[in-house]
Chain A
Amino acid sequence: MQLSERTEWTLLATPLVAFLLLSLGFPAIVNLVYSVSEISFATLRSPVLSGFGNFAAVLQDPDFWRANWFSLRFGLLTALLECGLGLFLAVFLAPLFKNRSWPLAILMMPMMVAPALMGLMYRLVLHEFAGPVPYYLWQWFGDSPSFLGPNSAFWTLIAVETLQWTPFAFLLFHMAYHAIPEHLREAAAIDGAGAFQRFRMIELPLMVPTLAVALLIRFIDGFRVFDNVYVLTGSGAGGATASLSIYIYEAFFKQGTIGKAVAASVLLFLASFAVLYGLNALARRKRK
């Protein structure tokens, strides 16, 4: 029996759709119900619908906007730094990796460490009395800066995140750089283009799609940061290092304001969906 293309497509897609509905659909519906309900840990199974009060509470909460601002700055800065450094390393170290790949494994190591462990590691490394960094600073200069003080914690967290995830960006750029056909470089060299001109006029334009993808992935990862920040500084003095994920976690578990936490997560979902939809539409228009 010959099945129509439509039937075949339906048959093949059904398991995936069913899986998505089960794994994402149910929690999403529960979230939506909780976001418009009066809810506590004692009434998880019997929420009382209460309108959009939770959304109003979130939108009027200055800590919500502060957490958004932290996540946005953190996501943008780390994405730019990781991609900038990753691109530089991929191009600068290209001759080293041309015929041998083992040094790649060493560069990839920070990525293998769980972010929470990375946070713990830096908690030790930066401790004034137990960490090697302050120890040597005291030995050499008779002083050591405050790494996790109110004015420096943000930049320390940026540095920790950048050191861990630059290898990811580097890996993408390394692959993209080595995928550029060699004859293009040779032709440009014959035409008299120098190394920097070849990079600017040939290699970089060919790597732009990879650059866009890397920036997007790193921004998303930075924006939703939780583990290493939470382990290193928690939500910070006065909530100074609370990312949006930490804000939602603390509203849910620490303050027990489940409706408010879920409403914040629904708003985050809607904002993410709008951004991704916009980017997709932009990409479609460009393809045409």
Chain B
Amino acid sequence: MRTAFKMAMRLLGSVFVGGLMLGGAQADVTVLGWPGGPEETALRAVADVYNARPDVAAENKVKLLFFNRDGFWDKLQADLAAGSNAFDINLLATYSIGRYAPFMEPVTLSDGAGELFGPAVLSTMQFDGKQYGVPTDLSLHFMYYRKDLIDALMSDDAAKARYAEISEKHLGKALQPKNPDDWTWDDFAATALYFTKSVNPDSPTRYGTVLQLKNLLFNIMVWQSIPRSYGGDWKDAQGNITIDSDAFRKGLELYKLLYDAGATPRDSLSYEFAEANAAFASGQVAAMLQWNAAATDLTDPQKSPTVAEVTKTMAPPAGPEGRKTHIHGLGLGLNKNAPNKEGAKAFLSWLSTKEAALDYARNGGAPALAPKAVAEIADKRPDLVQLGEYAGAYGYVMNGGASANALAIYELQAKEFTGYWSGQQDIDTALANVKKGMTDLLK
């Protein structure tokens, strides 16, 4: 009995000491990345390149850590607030940078980073005037449309007459179909209505568009390019909240009109990125405003055989202020409690070099690079040329969109605006609730 007890204690002791040794083995640089997408593939590739470099010491090799995308930012928030040292480098995004900055340290980029990325892209990783991360991926929105359907519409006089009739009935003005390059938001709405079976029984598609209306902050980012193109902003120059302006009303009412008319699936109020892509890929949708990240799958004949050959992209339609697209960056920054700070700084500095950025792009990442740099990979990644062009010409960040409470503001808007779109409250109540909440959150 006594022998068994001694053996059990020895075993317990070994496990304990083993655990301590594992905990202390923090010689490498641990990077917490964005899991499960092209960002993970690209990060794995550049980590391999970095680890193979002769000047990287064994104790500074990069080790990657991934968990699930679901609740990623909440888990990261809890980890950082608890002072976790389980990773040296962590992911951060433009809209969450203000929330995480207190638990991170500013970083120094390589000498050529300014020229490689340009000031607008570098600013997506800045807070309080300090650089908190290396920009790795840029996200913005494309208008995806079916070229075959638009071409058929443009070449059929009877269809044009029907189009004018439908737009007059639903939008109050008789519009003529246009090439998507010339679309305003009204043209988009008229096209969406024309290609909706319940509005136009002759439509070749079931729906004219698919809106992502789930109560989710990312869906507000997609939608808000409409009010922005009408001159909308969260705050004016004096710091007054301007969410109840005509621009936001126009954006809200346009979505409501399309939802009520049946131009988007009835379950759209539970749709986000994946559901909208599945709808478009089925061939039953004519046009959709979506993240640029969908382009690879929707134009791949293996993944989207029904629509890949006929899907084209352009910048979101124009309002009186021109075309606008929300932009935000994903990047990697330094944890304040990093056990291997020097190793982490060295990796981040290398990651901001042209060599690393081009490797990252070649392996599926979406860095926004200056025209000179992106030209080197234009044959392999033509979408990155469009990405850089749109970001520079139409990209915007709402005034307050990188503040400490930006995420909470998006959440608030998502809740109140989906309440309006679903018919649970009127537009005045929704806007008043958001204005009240934003006044507190942007104090």
> A42 to B81, Cβ gap below 8 A?
yes
Q: Which of A135-165 contact B (CB under 8 A)?
A: 145-150, 153
Q: How far is the CB of B37 from chain A (nearest CB, A)?
A: 17
When the two chains form their complex, are residues B278 and A147 in contact, meaning their CB atoms are under 8 A apart?
A: no
Given contacts A130-B278, A146-B266, A150-B269, contact A238 B415 (CB under 8 A): yes
**Interface-forming stretch among A180-188, A202-210, A248-256, A275-283?**
A248-256
Q: A235 near B215 (CB under 8 angstroms)?
A: yes
Question: Which residue on A lies nearest to B285, using beta carbons?
Answer: A129
Q: Is the CB of B424 within 8 A of A240?
A: yes
Kindly report which residue of chain B lies nearest to residue A44, judged by CB atoms: B81
CA distance A44 to B278 in the complex (A): 42
Residue of A123, A130, A147, A237 most packed against chain B (CB within 10 A): A237
B421 contacts the other chain (CB 8 A): yes
Mostly, the A contact residues are loop
Does chain A have a CB within 8 A of B35? Answer: no
How many chain A residues have a CB neighbour from B under 8 Å? 31
- Asked if B282 is at the interface (CB within 8 A of a chain A CB), the reply is yes
Number of A-B contacts (CB under 8 A): 99
On whether the beta carbons of B408 and A256 are closer than 8 Å, the reply is yes
Q: Which residues of B contact A123 (CB under 8 A)?
A: 270, 275
Point out the residues of chain A lying under 8 angstroms from B411, CB to CB: 250, 254-255
Instruction: Point out the residues of chain B lying under 8 angstroms from A65, CB to CB.
Output: none
A47: CB under 8 A from chain B? no
Determine if B407 is an interface residue (Cβ-Cβ < 8 Å): yes
B77-94 interface bits toward A, Cβ cutoff 8 Å, 1 = contact, 0 = none: 110111000000000000
Q: Check A256/B215 contact, CB under 8 A, given A129-B282, A237-B424.
A: no
State whether B215 touches A149 (Cβ < 8 A). no
Pick from B405, B408, B416, B422: contact of A150, CB below 8 A.
B422
Answer whether residue B279 sits at the interface, using C-beta atoms and an 8 A cutoff.
Answer: yes
Interface residues of A in 219-262 (CB under 8 A from B): 231-240, 250, 253-256
The reply to whether A237 and B102 contact each other, CB–CB distance below 8 Å, is no
Query: Does B82 contact A233, Cβ atoms closer than 8 Å?
Result: no
Within 8 A of B (CB), among A110-127: 123, 126-127
| Complex alpha-carbon distance, A254 and B419, angstroms | 18
C-alpha spacing A126/B80, complex, angstroms: 37
Q: Give, as a whole number of angstroms, the nearest-CB distance from A237 to chain B.
A: 4
Contacts of A146 in B (CB 8 A): 265-267
CB proximity to A under 8 Å, residues B54-76: 70-71, 74
Instruction: Tell whether B425 is near chain A: CB-to-CB under 8 Å.
Output: yes
Complex CA–CA separation, A149 to B82 (angstroms): 39
C-alpha spacing A93/B267, complex, angstroms: 37
Contact A128 B267 (CB under 8 A): yes
- Chain A interface residues toward B at CB < 8 A: 41-42, 44, 123, 126-130, 145-150, 153, 231-240, 250, 253-256
The 6 tightest CB contacts between A and B, nearest first, are: A238-B419, A146-B266, A237-B422, A148-B270, A150-B422, A129-B282
**Chain B residues in contact with chain A, CB under 8 A?**
70-71, 74, 77-78, 80-82, 99, 102-103, 213-216, 265-267, 269-270, 275, 278-279, 281-282, 284, 405, 407-408, 411-412, 415-416, 418-425
Besides A146-B266, A237-B269, A238-B215, 4 new A-B residue pairs in contact (Cβ under 8 A), listed by A number = A41-B81, A129-B279, A150-B423, A234-B215
| 27 A-B interface contacts by CB (under 8 A) | A44-B81, A44-B82, A127-B275, A128-B265, A128-B266, A128-B279, A129-B281, A129-B282, A146-B265, A148-B269, A150-B269, A232-B270, A233-B214, A234-B215, A235-B215, A235-B415, A237-B419, A237-B421, A237-B422, A237-B424, A238-B419, A238-B420, A238-B422, A240-B424, A253-B71, A253-B77, A256-B408
